[in-house]
């Protein structure tokens, strides 16, 4: 079950691994939560995924209506298919909606990326994570702290299996392609020397004009020291237009349309640093050893701070500028060893756990 851009990165290596087992039949269901080419179909092409067997086509909406529409569309499909297990990944609305429907129909649920916690219930994703993990019967975790979170919440330890970070599988698998793509991408974007990379999409950063304006002002100030490249999320572009903020407010920052995974990871791999509010990019930069400034007060991936290159930064102009200047003054941060089982082989462990427990 998939629905949004982060899901595609995680499901691709699992689907590929499970396809090697002739005794397993898979049916890929796409809710359509992300549906345009830049946020959806390009990833199927890049990851070599087949077209979904079923596409619910729910589109964008407020979270309550979106979750409700997914449930309405998914219930008759699961009643018809009645699979031995439903696999959900991540923490988007599609994840929790699918888990709710399956649990009510008595279909076992396996959750990839279980146990991550920001301990901030103002984040919709945190609610999605909490509910999904309570409903799942197999909880596949990316890090040891996730195991501890689940046990603390009363989850039976026999349901928990530490498998590592499957996002890194995709990164490792496609790294040769990203490197081959880099020279042409660099020339096409006119990149000459060091640059910073920016991504922003979380409501807490982009849905309030004062916060978004503060961040854009910070980017403009940082852009006086180093060029900034900003592939913009549709939500962020819409908010900039709504609030009357434009490219000029970001100073030397170059704003462009969203990129596919291969191009984006080529940019990430060669950046001097990344400014983001994305959970997945915190993980990818940790593996790559690229300094990451996460514009959030907390993270559900604390291992990227304690064992990686990630730093949490308040969404204020002075805080962002100070953190970026510190990275520039200190040079490129030394590569750290990847966290435990972030080794490009998580999909094999997930496939083993799934087939063993079905």
**Where are the extended beta strands (E) located within 248-341?**
253-256, 273-276, 292-295, 310-313
Instruction: Look at residue 6 in the predicted model and tell me its pLDDT.
Output: 82
Query: Is 279 in the same domain as 324?
Result: yes
Instruction: Return the axis-axis angle of helices 209-222 and 234-243, rounded to nearest 10°.
Output: 100
**304: CB partners within 8 A, 6+ apart:** 282, 283, 285, 286, 292, 310
Instruction: Look at residue 148 in the predicted model and tell me its pLDDT.
Output: 98
As a whole number of angstroms, the longest Cα–Cα distance in the chain is 60
The angle subtended at Cα 241 by Cα 236 and Cα 243, nearest 5°, is 95
Active-site annotation holds for 82: no
Query: Is 185 in the same domain as 323?
Result: yes
pTM of the predicted model as reported, rounded to 2 decimal places: 0.93
Is residue 293 in some structural domain? yes
Among the options 30, 201, 225, 233, which is catalytic? 201
Segments forming the whole domain that contains residue 152: 5-164+342-357
What is the 8-class DSSP label of residue 20?
T
Query: Is 185 in the same domain as 91?
Result: no
Query: Is 74 in the same domain as 87?
Result: yes
From the list 133, 29, 10, the residue with the least C-alpha distance to 80 is: 29
Give pLDDT tens digits for 216-238.
999 999 999 999 999 999 899 99
Alpha-carbon distance of 251 to 53, in angstroms, equals 45
Instruction: Look at residue 37 in the predicted model and tell me its pLDDT.
Output: 46
Work out the end-to-end distance of the chain between its first and last CA atoms, rounded to an integer number of angstroms.
17
3-state secondary structure of 2: strand
Query: Is 202 in the same domain as 348?
Result: no
Domain count, the chain: 2
The angle subtended at Cα 168 by Cα 173 and Cα 313, nearest 5°, is 135
Phi, psi of 140, rounded to the nearest 5 degrees: -100, 110
Q: Which residues of the chain have pLDDT under 70?
A: 33-41, 247-251, 331-336
């Amino acid at each position: 079950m998939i629905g949004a851009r982060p899901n595609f990165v995680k499901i691709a290596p699992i689907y590929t691994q499970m396809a090697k087992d002739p005794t397993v039949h898979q049916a890929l269901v796409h809710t359509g939560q992300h549906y345009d080419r830049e946020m959806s179909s390009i990833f199927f092409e890049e990851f070599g995924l087949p077209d979904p067997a079923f596409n619910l086509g729910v589109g964008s909406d407020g979270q309550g209506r979106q979750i409700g529409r997914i449930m309405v569309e998914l219930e008759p499909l699961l009643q018809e298919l009645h699979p031995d297990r439903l696999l959900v990944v991540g923490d988007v609305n599609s994840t929790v909606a699918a888990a709710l429907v399956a649990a009510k129909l008595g279909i076992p649920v396996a959750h990839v990326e279980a146990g991550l916690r920001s301990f901030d219930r103002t984040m919709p994703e945190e609610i999605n994570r909490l509910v999904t993990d309570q409903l799942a019967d197999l909880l596949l975790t990316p890090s040891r702290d996730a195991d501890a979170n689940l046990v603390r919440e009363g989850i039976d330890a026999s349901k928990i299996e530490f498998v590592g970070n499957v996002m890194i599988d995709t990164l490792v698998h496609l790294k040769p392609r990203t490197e081959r793509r880099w020279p042409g991408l660099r020339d096409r974007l006119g990149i000459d020397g060091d640059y910073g990379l920016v991504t922003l999409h979380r409501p807490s950063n982009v849905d309030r004009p004062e916060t978004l304006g503060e961040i854009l002002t910070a980017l403009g100030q940082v852009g006086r020291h180093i060029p900034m490249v900003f592939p913009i999320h549709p939500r962020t572009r819409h908010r900039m237009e709504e609030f009357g903020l434009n490219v000029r407010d970001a100073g030397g920052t170059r704003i462009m349309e969203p990129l596919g995974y291969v191009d984006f990871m080529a940019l990430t791999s060669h950046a001097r640093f990344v400014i983001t509010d994305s959970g997945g990019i915190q993980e990818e930069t940790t593996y790559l050893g690229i300094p990451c400034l996460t514009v959030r007060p907390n993270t559900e991936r604390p291992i990227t701070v304690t064992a990686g290159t990630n730093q949490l930064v308040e969404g204020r102009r002075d805080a962002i500028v100070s953190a970026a200047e510190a990275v520039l003054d200190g040079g490129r941060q030394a590569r750290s060893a990847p966290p435990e089982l972030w080794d490009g082989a998580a999909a094999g462990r997930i496939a083993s756990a799934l087939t063993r427990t079905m």
